[in-house]
Amino acid sequence: MDTNLSDKGMRLLKKGKIGILRVVFSRLGIFAALLLIQLMIPFALANWFRQYLPHFFSLNMVFIVGMVLYLLNTNFDPTAKITWLIIIMLAPFFGAFMLLYTQTDLGHRAIMKKLEILHDETKLSLKQKPEVVKELDVVSPESAALLKYINRSGCFPVYKNTKITYFPIGEDKFQELLIQLEKAEHFIFLEYFIVAEGEMWGKVLDILARKVKTGVDVRLMYDGTCEFSTLPHDYPKRLKKLGIKCKMFAPLTPFISTHYNYRDHRKILVIDGHTAFTGGVNLADEYINKYEKHGHWKDAAIMLQGEAARSFTLMFLQMWNIDERTPVIEKFLHGYSVPENECKGFIIPYADSPLDNEKTGEMVYIDILNRAQKYVHIMSPYLILDGEMEMAIKFAAERGVDVSIILPGIPDKIAAYSLAKRHYKSLIQSGVKIYQYIPGFVHSKVFVCDDIKAVVGTINLDYRSLYHHFECAAYMYGTDCIKDIERDFVETTAKCSPVTFETIKKEKIGYKILGILMKAVAPLL
């Protein structure tokens, strides 16, 4: 923890060390035990009824056939259908129970209803300037059409005159973040998937603690999975004693819930409504290479200065107010002035929610691929594709577009890494170029196309991001920073090794076997 914090702050926060005994005998350990008991119940019931198994066999076969016909007639993604078919074939009744459980969405109906209400109440909070839409429609009719689609799931205006700075590495974002935090006068909102004690969070926290004392409204929201590894359960209470308002999204409870499947994967920081950060960089030391976790950590982020930052203010407030009885939103959206900057291009900040019927993140990516003329350059930590995304990538390459993808050379998750390799051969056959980052792990989530379009945000090319997580990003057209994004891609490619048919043949047998096995459960990864 940073030494600049007061002694009181140090005493409050230093107790958050994670150890095996603390986990076993903590609230987390109790919850884990209760969850294990719940998981064991179906197996205990199966053992109790084993004497009836001979009579049960015929019914079991009829049941399997019925479930197969049901799954084939659902609107599930084809890969998800295969996964559920395998589960049903291996464990018919337990699998059917799990399918019913996930489809009824027990555990997150309340949050879904609250989000619907918040979206309805705030859908007109950010006014769209009609002259900006008209200008976009003239300059880029396809981007104007995409804007209409994005707004099906929320309030996401298109903006001009917002200065955008691209950071090709986490260290650059961190240094600018510290500078901008010191300028805060009214409020600082932070929403991150991961927060971990260390130098990065320590320096940020020191500024936040000082700003609170000057009257700045400081709020932090982080995902409940941090309780597993990086922060203790009572961390919000500890920050409250420093004057910082803090919440966990979907904290652990002792009951199994489909709500656990929907994580807050967003990275948002907003200062006074006029400056916002997003991208792949969390608040933990590996993101700025203060220690080596999976080799060199290559990440990316952007800073918005201007009116477009208000969209990220709204995104944060919608999540923050899920459990608030009297949400306060208008004050933070319009209560403080936001200067305009004379800048080229257009920007559409947007969010993606797993609780609506839109796959906004995936559709934006596919739209870029389908309309590309010269190139689409992609950086992503994962490559776990559904049929639609894989077809869009291959189709773009097959019609002559230079589709190049940079992926990690050193994995953080062996299963996901092995599964990504199952896509390599098919993609290369279609003309897609795949590169692996030799120094370490790529965590950037970047699309850049034809020197004119780009997306930077939190959305990975995997089922987690595209189907199950709360995400955010910014779509840019004609902005000055696009040349910086493309330059970063080219410079990063120079540090990569290309994947070829020859390298695929020489791949370790362990990766090949694991990839084959993981293919059956790809939607769960």
Which SS3 state, helix, strand or coil, does residue 446 take? strand
Q: Which helix (H) or strand (E) holds 433?
A: strand 433-437
Q: Return the closest-CA partner of residue 403 out of 351, 437, 438, 365.
A: 365
Q: What is the mean pLDDT of the chain?
A: 87
pLDDT at 25: 46
Locate tokens 């208000």: which residue? 310
What pLDDT does 480 receive?
95
Give the integer Cα–Cα distance in Å for 3 and 201: 12
**Distance between CA atoms of residues 292 and 204, nearest Å:** 20
Give the SS3 label for residue 264: strand
pLDDT tens per residue across span 133-192: 999 999 999 999 999 999 988 889 999 999 999 999 999 999 999 999 999 999 999 999
The pLDDT confidence band at residue 429, using thresholds 50, 70 and 90, is very high
- Average the pLDDT over 56-74 and give the result: 78
pLDDT at 50: 66
**Proportion of the chain above pLDDT 70, given as a percent:** 85
Enter the DSSP assignment of 195.
B
CB 303 within 8 A of CB 180: yes
Q: Which of 495, 317, 307 is nearest to 410 (CA)?
A: 495
Instruction: Return the pLDDT at 215.
Output: 97
With a CB cutoff of 8 Å and minimum separation 6, the contacts of 219 are 187, 188, 189, 190, 244, 245, 246, 247, 316, 320
| 91-100, 339-348, 364-373, 443-452: segment of lowest average pLDDT | 91-100
What mean pLDDT do residues 423-427 have? 96
Most confident of the following: 60-74, 313-327, 496-510: 496-510
Domains of the chain: 7-14+110-350 (3.30.870.10), 20-104 (no CATH), 360-524 (3.30.870.10)
Measured between alpha carbons, how far is 433 from 300 in angstroms, rounded to an integer?
21
The arithmetic mean of pLDDT across residues 485-495, rounded, is 98
- The DSSP code sequence of 277-316 is EEES--BSGGGGTSS-SSSEEE--EEEEESTTHHHHHHHH
pLDDT score of 23 more than 50? no
Residues 349, 474: contact at Cβ < 8 Å?
yes
60: confidence class by pLDDT, cuts 50, 70, 90: confident
pLDDT band at 24 (very low <50, low <70, confident <90, very high): very low
pLDDT of residue 494: 98
